[in-house]
Structure 1
């Protein structure tokens, strides 16, 4: 797409942002609004949303690419290597595909791109003096490796009967409910792990690596310190107590791993013929990468609003967040 088709930036700070202040799209509003919850369910689960696409991808991988649970009955290098290879391919395909379309081909120009800037080059802040190469190193190295080890452990536990499992035929309602609830659980887990990582000692030694990505891109999503990967992927331990099918596990794996590339694309939506066809990143999380001590969770969970860490995109929200950052980190 030629640059002359790009829209004018909305401000000096942002190339694009949605209407401000940000509204409250949490599904945990009180009192509940049945019409809002119905629209949320339709948009997320009855249309071709990010979540539906990831479930379909997880089903395809279960059917064709991941080893059978029977093969996972005993630990061996062969089937674990196969899991790692599939996860590596998913990560390269998703993050690389999004990066290629938005940042190499410029398929959407800067339409709906939050930050003015392109990925950084020639800056020694980054390994290899290149933001994208640095992000790829952490994502494809520690990221894919730890994701695979967590997944392999859960597969072994499932096939040996150490954790509760279900089939679609035995419990279709719980099967469907599990798919809906897993992203909600992940958001809950992410908020509290994220708050822990912003404790000054952990932030400086661990989480600061991810936050070098003030201007995010698809490879930023899983670019983390190995300690952060360990904490982040511990979300998968829910399958030790929640009755699951392998499709639940694989959906969860893809949602946490390659799916992070979608939420960190740096664009709000994918445009097809100038129409929004797929939700990608959120300004809510973009504000977190810009201002750090705010919006630790995601829009569906109410924790930031309940605990006073919500930034609504306004100038007043920025002042409050900067004051909190100064109090927590001094000059950091």
Structure 2
């Protein structure tokens, strides 16, 4: 594929799409019903459908029976960790292998033309972003993912929160499934904006932002505090009347879905004429500029409402620079006062 049909490349070789990032169309007024209908298939397929498929596999084939879940045990907890770790190794690792190790499509559609493996840095363990990100994922974030999973399964199994059934509440539970990605985006925006606050950024979130040029292994490379808060999105289903299967879907949106913003490519060429859209650009811009796009790609437009949105356009860049200048002026005034 010719990526220059879809975007442009600067002098450094970095690629950017021609079209700005657009949020969900149902926020437009007056409503554009045809545009909403055209958008809906992409909302479901392929990413959310994939995360639901993995959640169903976990629920029916991986999660122990209810009687086992009623008692906390290292045995079944470690079993879940092993499955989660193996799945992430296979899923993230396949993207890393084909697009970062073998570089099957070179730098076509790659936002940053450089590859992390070619750039050793002292900010990473062993001066390697790949090794650092891999170790932090498997020794910090995935254990914390599993901790959240164990806790909500234990709570549901003991009947300490409502466990709604599909036979009695099909429409309500279907609605929860439909809005689970929105819950994820609101939760992510709130905790993400919080850990960008000065002290928390320094001690917590800077670990993740060391990966200015993210790759798949960067997805879950987090400080333990961030790793727990990020996966704790599943606990919303202990507050809302829900079902553990949907809590699992919510968890997989976070765990497996983290790769979406860190793939580093706008499209993955599955075949010569079949690209997979990654929806990674909005979060890539966050890694590039740090103080924009704290949420997702506009499903719930919190970044727009709070003035942090950058859609990749020249206008978005101008808004960002104007905000930075105002912030700089405030800091200078405070220092002089």
1:58 corresponds to which residue? 55
- Counterpart CA distance in 2 for 1:257 and 1:175 is 21
Tell me if structure 1 keeps the 8 A contact 2:163–2:242: yes
> Which of the residues 44, 69, 73 maps onto 1:72?
69
CA apart distance, 1:328: 8.8
Q: Residues 320, 58 of structure 1: CA spacing in aligned structure 2 closer, same or farther, 3 A cutoff? A: same
Structure 1 residue 166, shift from structure 2 partner = 2.3
RMSD (Å), alpha carbons: 2.4
Q: Is the 8 A contact 1:158 1:165 kept in 2?
A: yes
TM-score normalised by L of structure 1 = 0.89
What aligned pairs does 1:294-305 form with structure 2 within 5 A after superposition?
A: 294-299=292-297, 300-305=299-304
5+ residue gaps, structure 1, are: none
C-alpha distance in 2 between matches for 1:321 and 1:115: 24
Question: Which stretch shows the higher mean deviation, 161-170 or 202-211?
Answer: 161-170
Deviation at 1:290, TM superposition (A): 0.5
Q: Contact 2:184–2:253 at 8 Å: present in 1 too?
A: no
Q: Deviation of residue 126 (structure 1)?
A: 0.6
Question: After alignment, is 50-59 or 320-329 more displaced?
Answer: 320-329
Q: Distance between the aligned counterparts of 2:154 and 2:40, measured in 1?
A: 33
Question: After superposition, where does 1:152-191 map in structure 2 within 5 Å?
Answer: 152-191=150-189
Corresponding residue for residue 312 of structure 1: 311
Of residues 163-172 and 9-18 in structure 1, the stretch that sits farther from structure 2 once superposed is 9-18
Partner of 1:223: 221
CA 1:279–1:264 in 2, change beyond 3 Å: closer, same or farther?
Answer: same
8 Å CA contact 1:269, 1:276 repeated in 2:
no
Q: Residue in 2 aligned with 1:241?
A: 239
Unaligned runs of 5+ in 2: 333-337
> How far 1:324 sits from its partner (Å)?
6.3
1:287–1:328: structure 2 CA closer, same or farther, 3 Å change rule?
farther
**C-alpha displacement at 1:320, in angstroms?**
3.1
Distance in 2 (CA, whole Å) between partners of 1:147 and 1:305 is: 29
* Alignment pair present for 1:99 and 2:96: yes
Paired residue for 2:263? 265
Task: Give, in whole Å, the separation in 2 of the partners of 1:296 and 1:312.
Answer: 12
| Greater share of helix | 2
Give the C-alpha shift of residue 9 in structure 1: 5.9
**How far does residue 149 in structure 1 lie from its aligned partner after superposition?**
0.8
Contact persistence 2:51–2:256 (CA under 8 A): no
Q: 2:254 is matched with which residue?
A: 256
- Scaled by the length of structure 2, what TM-score is found? 0.88
C-alpha contact 1:291 1:321 (8 A) present in aligned 2: no
